[in-house]
Structure 1
């Protein structure tokens, strides 16, 4: 019985520590060089965070996507996939990219992993797969932002969105 309690305590402590490795500051620093490239190339970049066999947090090399989509695979070095990540590229008046899209959140829910999204305005979002909700982790200019970003082009962002809220924002006409 004591052995089982020890194992459970160890597993809980380990998973809690893993979740804490991906902090807001880590994400802001991690996304900065990727955002610069994403904005300059007007393309999304994407990848995964995970743990290697030593329990160290690792990330895949950012994969270049299209203007409004990106598809990557976790690394073979990952023994546990923790989350996906992607950028939304450069600012465009034709696309409200300051929140995750409903497709972004749906993909993370389907994959059963959290997702992190960096926007042209420098915001960072967490798609919480378990709660099925997009949550703003840090606001405007939290990481590198597009110098052409126009904060007046689209409605202000909320601090969180459910899938229904993202569907509404996706379907809104500006």
Structure 2
């Protein structure tokens, strides 16, 4: 019986890794598009989770509306395994550099021990890789829906990846 339980857990781990890899930039661009439209129109973050249901199918929670600069959601009761979190960064704002995950975003995913996906007002999509403790740009400007008011010159250029120290530095910049 223990051997069977171990085999099931091992197959779930392989399945979750396969699904995590299947969250490609093309899939995420389509997934985020309608959520981005709401996020930009309402200037609110929207968030949720990706996970596996009992049948091993990849599912996502309905996006939960948050505040202008934060969002908190719960996984679905239908999820037997959480694969990743996701959230948007709302509309473009001259007072908030939202084109990268914040240090708080990466820290939260590290703490929860799951990866995270973040879409930005400029239409970028990021992956917070909790194992590498790094935010990695999956696709750049206009990869998904972007805010028509977005100004590419408002903030410093975006790097392709950041560790926590790099995000702290970016968080602390004054504009």
TM-score bucket (shorter structure): over 0.9
2:118 matches 1:117: yes
Find the residue that maps to 2:48 and give its secondary structure.
strand
2:50 matched residue in structure 1:
49
Structure 1 unaligned spans of 5+: none
Structure 1 segments, 4+ long, off by >6 Å, are none
RMSD: 1.7
**Mapped contact 1:46–1:71 kept (Cα < 8 A):** yes
Distance in 2 (CA, whole Å) between partners of 1:53 and 1:140 is: 36
2:167 matches 1:166: yes
2:85 matched residue in structure 1:
84
Aligned residues: 171
TM-score for the superposition, normalised by structure 1: 0.93
Find the residue that maps to 2:85 and give its secondary structure.
strand
2:110 matches 1:96: no
2:32 matches 1:23: no
Distance in 2 (CA, whole Å) between partners of 1:110 and 1:16 is: 19
1:32 matched residue in structure 2:
33
Structure 2 unaligned spans of 5+: none
**Deviations 1:104-143 (CA, angstroms, capped at 9, x unpaired):** 0000000000000000000000000111000000000000
**Mapped contact 2:42–2:90 kept (Cα < 8 A):** yes
